Amino acid sequence: MKRYIDDYIYELETKIKDKKIDSYLHDDVLIKIEFFNKERIIHLIITLFYALFTILFVCHIRESIIYLIFALFMVCFLIPYIIYYFKLEARVQYLYKLYDKIKNSD
């Protein structure tokens, strides 16, 4: 998904720079933003569940050492998910700015 959104942003920036803006581009950007927002929501839910389960495993470490192993395992996945989510969030917000440029260039 990262490569897809980066390629799309590059394509939009090129069209804006070359002033190749038409009505189709407005609609296309809005549709892509909707798709990326759905992706963002899905990854937010996944990240929240990983964080919740990580917290649960950390809370149960006193009961058994096996929970420590699970907690460390969950942290190893949670950190990349958080990083990915915030990068996705930043790219979608940048798409909002590009859309505003397209809209105001008419």
Name the residue with tokens 């969950």. 74
Residue type, 58: V
Q: 32-46 pLDDT, tens per residue?
A: 999 999 999 999 999
Rounded CA-CA distance 31/51 in Å is 30
Q: Does position 49 have pLDDT exceeding 90, yes or no?
A: yes
Rounded CA-CA distance 10/6 in Å is 6
Q: 50-93 pLDDT, tens per residue?
A: 999 999 999 998 888 888 888 899 999 999 999 999 999 999 99
